Amino acid sequence: GSEETDIVALKNYMDAQYYGEIGIGTPPQKFTVVFDTGSSNLWVPSAKCYFSVACYFHSKYKSGDSSTYKKNGKSASIQYGTGAISGFFSNDNVQVGHLVVKDQDFIEATKEPGVTFVAAKFDGILGLGFKEISVGDAVPVWYNMVKQGLIQDQVFSFWLNRNIEGEVGGEIVFGGVDPNHYKGKHTYVPVTQKGYWQFDMGDVLIGEKPTGYCAGSCAAIADSGTSLLAGPTTVITMINQAIGAAGVANQECKAVVQQYGQTIIDLLVSGAQPVKICSKIGLCAFDGTHGVSMGIENVADESNGKSSGILHGATCPACEMAVVWMQNQLMDNQTQDRILNYADQLCDRMPNPMGESSVDCKNISSMPPVSFTIGGKVFKLTPDEYILKVGEGSEAQCISGFTALDVPPPRGPLWILGDVFMGRYHTVFDYGKSRVGFAEAA
């Protein structure tokens, strides 16, 4: 009933690149939907959507044409970027492949503001997340499939074909896994927070070297509705540096490295706990688990009226990043000069929040692999897998498949493993055993 439970957000629709067909009603009305493991509602445009241009470019559900339609009428709102898609709940049969899921609640969208959805190739979203995050407490399609005994095992799996143009885009299998689409055995990890397909993962490696940031564990969500890989700025900046991705210079970061870099190194060398270093040097408060900003906008030395100019909200996270970077380099036995220089260079590669980072297409072959440790196993992505090409031939632009997203503890640090990862690794969502499995896609 609260505002929070009545809103589910769709991320940037451009991140949702794979879609398939379902039918709603009797006879079935066809819709293309994104199968999104990061949300839990089914949503399609409504025939009662009159004033949104996007509705005129997509299939619309006409309840009057369906003999199995049941009225619900409860209003619903789906947050999206600069606006919200809104509508109301209805109930009807939903056809997925040859299965007919009966009495399925879904949202008929009557308003799709803005231009974003006008060009979308899909009509709606079919959420495959858990009921815990379902808007309006609607029972997700997957739950009804299980409840109505329509599938063999309580498992669905994704194969996303990232390779050849003109071929099948991918396949979602309900009720099990298709042995044609993976090699070897799956590595399974338990779901740690129901709602999302969230699990614990270990360190991220650039080349063969650990970054160290997630060595003590990070959370990760397997999300088929997001194409990119989103993770902590600290690590994304290291990746940006390693692959030569464009970034933005961060002055707080540079100031911290200049003024406190040597002190940070000295403290690390002397064996100080990395999480306490920034509070030790007065740039963060320490809450017992990690550094937190002290909320100081600007600190002026009253005796001379000069401002230090760097002690504000961004300084603590800048310091914490510098500690991770420097610790990483110390473990790699780099000299102190090189460590300071490396950290300074990273300050020039800070990613824009949720922005794209372009890279030089000519350098792809020389970029290092980036790997994720899941269930004790290393899952590698090569540069041609994590770099996205936009356009063809000499006109082609290349963008990094990594984007920054910072979630503080206790929910974070958090990674979103989207289609870039799920393309390389066949993914099993095992609802019955509450676990997620990854194996090399075939």
Nearer to another protein, 119 or 269 (CB): 119
Nearest one of 213, 257, 238 to 349, comparing CA atoms: 238
Nearer to another protein, 158 or 342 (CB): 158
Q: Which residues ranging from 184 to 243 are in contact with another protein (CB under 8 A)?
A: 195-196, 221, 230
User: And the tokens for 10?
Assistant: 């769709």
Q: How far is CA 425 from CA 226, 286, 329, 378, 440, in A?
A: 15, 38, 30, 12, 5
- Does position 173 bind another protein by CB under 8 A? yes
| Nearest approach, Cβ of residue 211 and another protein (Å) | 22
Q: How far is 80 from 86, CA to CA, in rounded Å?
A: 10
Options 15, 92, 223, 430, the catalytic residue: 223
SS3 at position 61:
strand
Q: Which residues is 399 bridged to in the sheet? A: 358, 388
User: And the tokens for 154?
Assistant: 């309580």
Residues 6+ away with beta carbon under 8 Å from 205: 211, 369, 370, 371, 372, 373, 378
Nearer to another protein, 337 or 395 (CB): 395
- Does position 416 bind another protein by CB under 8 A? yes
- Does position 133 bind another protein by CB under 8 A? yes
Binding piece for another protein, criterion CB under 8 A, among 61-69, 312-320, 385-393, 428-436: 385-393
Q: How far is 402 from 237, CA to CA, in rounded Å?
A: 10
- Does position 387 bind another protein by CB under 8 A? no
Q: How far is 270 from 260, CA to CA, in rounded Å?
A: 15
Size of the site for another protein (CB under 8 A): 73
Q: Which residues ranging from 20 to 39 are in contact with another protein (CB under 8 A)?
A: 20-22, 32, 35, 38-39
Q: Which residues of 61-80 are buried (b: 16+ CB within 10 A; e: fewer)?
A: bebeebebbeebeeebbbeb
Per CB under 8 A, the list member of 207, 282, 309, 408 interacting with another protein is 408
- Does position 399 bind another protein by CB under 8 A? yes
| Nearest approach, Cβ of residue 334 and another protein (Å) | 33
Q: How far is 334 from 20, CA to CA, in rounded Å?
A: 50
Per CB under 8 A, the list member of 26, 144, 161, 187 interacting with another protein is 161
137 is catalytic: no
Q: How far is CA 399 from CA 69, 363, 386, 425, in A?
A: 45, 12, 9, 21
| Nearest approach, Cβ of residue 397 and another protein (Å) | 8
- Does position 405 bind another protein by CB under 8 A? yes
Q: Which residues is 33 bridged to in the sheet? A: 20, 124
Amino acid letter at 175? G
| Nearest approach, Cβ of residue 192 and another protein (Å) | 14
Q: Is 22 exposed, middle or buried (0-12, 13-18, 19+ CB in 10 A)?
A: buried
Q: Which residues ranging from 89 to 128 are in contact with another protein (CB under 8 A)?
A: 96-99, 116, 119, 121-122
Nearer to another protein, 115 or 376 (CB): 115
Nearer to another protein, 70 or 102 (CB): 102
Q: Could you give phi then psi for residue 325, rounded to 5 degrees?
A: -60, -45
- Does position 442 bind another protein by CB under 8 A? no
Q: Which residues ranging from 272 to 331 are in contact with another protein (CB under 8 A)?
A: none
| Nearest approach, Cβ of residue 281 and another protein (Å) | 25
Residue 150 CB-half CA count within 13 A: 20
Nearer to another protein, 26 or 79 (CB): 79
Q: Which residues ranging from 51 to 80 are in contact with another protein (CB under 8 A)?
A: 79-80
- Does position 142 bind another protein by CB under 8 A? no
| Nearest approach, Cβ of residue 347 and another protein (Å) | 19
Per CB under 8 A, the list member of 31, 174, 213, 260 interacting with another protein is 174
| Nearest approach, Cβ of residue 317 and another protein (Å) | 12
Options 36, 105, 123, 430, the catalytic residue: 36
Question: Dihedral (C-alpha) 273, 275, 276, 282: value to the nearest 10 degrees?
Answer: 140
Q: Which residues ranging from 253 to 272 are in contact with another protein (CB under 8 A)?
A: none
Per CB under 8 A, the list member of 2, 67, 82, 303 interacting with another protein is 82
Give the residue numbers annotated as catalytic, written as ranges.
Answer: 36, 223
